[in-house]
Structure 1
Amino acid sequence: MIDYIESVYPREQFKEVYESLLLIFKSQVKSLKQQDRKSNLCKEELLSISIEKGGSSVLVDGHLISGLMTKEEIEFCIGYGFLLQVSDDLQDIKEDLKFNHETVMTETIKNGTLDKITNKLINFTIELIDGFKINNKNESVITMIKNDCLMLILFSVVYNAEFFSKEYIKVIEKFIPYTISYSLEIKEKFKNVDVLNNEDEYKEMIDIICKE
């Protein structure tokens, strides 16, 4: 893989590409601490790991696509990677708790609900993507990305309702396209569907959702 990257981006001209590859490697190694029960990482340490791990993952994508990026593009990639990482931690909180993996979400739930931290994640998502959209010509694509990110967060709340207050869940239901009961029904029905490798199952899922 490195040989192929070097054939496209010579090291002398695209040092940032290789710096980002080293960064994601180092951050992935550091994130292994989250799986060590003896680490006892505090929220600040977990947040730092999330920023480095998530940010570097999209930063390297940006460099591999563009070679060189502007300061604005670099900042967006880091922020976007971070919000995806925390969104993923929200989505996977049950599994992380089960296997004693430490994340910002598992640490937060020790002291109450996830209401406030999820609101912060939603606000961060809107501010980051709207801010990037101001100077970007592909406004429709950026809007689609924002909506997809928000839906990811909102449905993660629905699927992990036990970690939120009842009042918060009632508010969230106003912003999702289906009722909570139907959303859970869809999740259960299609939890084993391989949408990448089974086109018929994918079409069936889309047909059922669109009919409602």
Structure 2
Amino acid sequence: MLPVQEYIDYFKEIWNNSSEALPRFNKAYSREEKLKHESNFDSFQNKLKELQNVRKAQQMRKDPAKSFFPMFHSFLKTVFDFDSAHLEIILSDEFKDVSKDFFYQARAFAPELSAEDIYQGMRNVWIMNGLQLMAHKPVKITPSVFAYSMIYPYSDNLLDDPDISSKQKVEFSERFDLRLRGNSIKPQNFTEEQLYKLISMFEEEFPRNEFQNVYESLYAIQRGQTNSLKLSPQNGLSDDEISTICFEKGGASVLADGYLVAGKLTMEQERALFGYGIYLQLLDDIQDVKEDSLAFTKTMFSCLEEKDLGKFVNKTIHFGREVLEEMSCFEGTQTDAFIGLMNRSIETMIIESVGLNHSWYDKSYLKQIEQFSPLHYSYLRKKRAQGKSQRFALLQKYFDSSEFKLAV
């Protein structure tokens, strides 16, 4: 059995010792710089609209500089200030190909899922692709990368559905756990039927008798998912119990990513991936504070008073920086660049999330943290009011674009 509790205790100590002071960032943005970035954002969106037209997309293909990915490169650099080394990873041919491959495989396997569900899965694909890079593995959609990235759009949607009773969710989790352990279980509904097919993909790539820890990591995330059902107001959990559940769920999730990429890991790599998963879980909790609070879901973040939310955000960033340093135990040629990319991306999303959920924060903290956002918070909220998250919207526009359809 994997030493999950040992990892939880290890990262709790790091968390408890992390500072609540405002972190140092590489750059603060003036009003003029923000306005310039916002103008670049608007210009990119206008160009995207042109890609919806088949004739214009065909014309753009004749001029590579005007196609989607050069424009996207410019967008990430001139709007969000990503470094060139980071953009080389994000926009490499390998990463572009796997996004396209996953999209079509997901559409074929699960036509009933929405584009947003597929985007949810694709976020995990990108994490696993990064781990492939760090572990000296080919960056591609393996059966296990596909299956694991599809499992949680299905199971998360079921577990998050308020119309499904707690009893039904527990019964589902029990059946799912049995199937993960190799038992022959009859699916009770279409969702379970799809999930069991995905588990079969793991079994084909990683035979149970050769890769025991692959399945131990899957049991660990399933335990974390099941324990997260306790995060309701009726259970009266202590702060320590809430943090244990949040750390277990987040850490086990990325630990499973690592095992389904590499098959085997050192204990040092296990621990590093567990910490990375906790950091991503804290990011999710910060992003979802409104939804969690309205649903009365307890997280480390949603239980705090307004005056403490900013301190928690600061603490999360300090914690994340220390945690990501442990990822250097992977010896891939682009490990340092990928760690930098992870750190830059997560901190950008945290800062953005504060602005999008501004009513939850103390005004003095908002003023402090906004200076490190490349866009005004009011501009971010205006964009969010126009529709779904900008990242999902950009991805959806590309997959719906004529250029994408012409390219495949």
Q: What amino acid is the match of 1:115?
A: G
| Alpha-carbon distance in 2 for matches of 1:171, 1:49 | 31
Q: Does 1:180 align with 2:374?
A: no
**Which one of the candidate residues 146, 167, 183 is aligned to 2:364?**
167
Structure 1 match to 2:355: 158
Shift of 1:71: 2.2
8 Å contact from structure 2 (residues 275, 323) kept in 1 = yes
8 Å contact from structure 1 (residues 195, 201) kept in 2 = no
Q: Deviations over 1:14-73 (max 9, x none)?
A: 111010111111111110011x33112121111000111001111111100110112222
Shift of 1:199: 2.4
Q: Does 1:66 align with 2:265?
A: no
Structure 2 match to 1:50: 246
> Normalising by structure 2, what TM-score?
0.46
Q: Deviations over 1:125-157 (max 9, x none)?
A: 111113424764322122111100101111111
| Alpha-carbon distance in 2 for matches of 1:147, 1:81 | 16
**Which one of the candidate residues 102, 123, 145 is aligned to 2:318?**
123
| Alpha-carbon distance in 1 for matches of 2:352, 2:401 | 19
Between 162-171 and 131-140, the greater mean CA deviation after superposition: 131-140
Between 69-78 and 51-60, the greater mean CA deviation after superposition: 69-78
**Which one of the candidate residues 114, 119, 132 is aligned to 2:309?**
114
Shift of 1:198: 3.6
Shift of 1:90: 1.0
8 Å contact from structure 2 (residues 220, 252) kept in 1 = yes
Q: Does 1:39 align with 2:235?
A: yes
Higher relative contact order (CA 8 A, sep 6+): 2
Structure 1 match to 2:153: none
SS in 1 for 2:235: coil
Cα pair distance change 1:115/1:197, threshold 3 Å: closer
| Alpha-carbon distance in 2 for matches of 1:97, 1:25 | 24
> Normalising by structure 1, what TM-score?
0.86
SS in 2 for 1:153: helix
8 Å contact from structure 1 (residues 20, 59) kept in 2 = yes
**Which one of the candidate residues 199, 202, 205 is aligned to 2:398?**
199
Shift of 1:99: 1.3
| Alpha-carbon distance in 1 for matches of 2:292, 2:211 | 37
Q: What amino acid is the match of 1:157?
A: V
Structure 1 match to 2:342: 145
SS in 2 for 1:23: helix
Cα pair distance change 1:190/1:201, threshold 3 Å: farther
| Alpha-carbon distance in 2 for matches of 1:201, 1:166 | 39
Percent of residue pairs identical: 33
Rg larger in 1 or in 2? 2
| Alpha-carbon distance in 2 for matches of 1:147, 1:194 | 21
Q: What amino acid is the match of 2:352?
A: F
SS in 2 for 1:50: helix
SS in 1 for 2:251: helix
8 Å contact from structure 2 (residues 272, 327) kept in 1 = yes
* Aligned length, in residue pairs: 201
| Alpha-carbon distance in 2 for matches of 1:158, 1:113 | 16
Cα pair distance change 1:14/1:117, threshold 3 Å: same
Q: Which runs of 5+ in 1 are unaligned?
A: 204-212
Q: What amino acid is the match of 1:97?
A: S
Cα pair distance change 1:59/1:134, threshold 3 Å: closer
**Which one of the candidate residues 63, 75, 83 is aligned to 2:279?**
83
Shift of 1:98: 0.9
Between 186-195 and 139-148, the greater mean CA deviation after superposition: 186-195
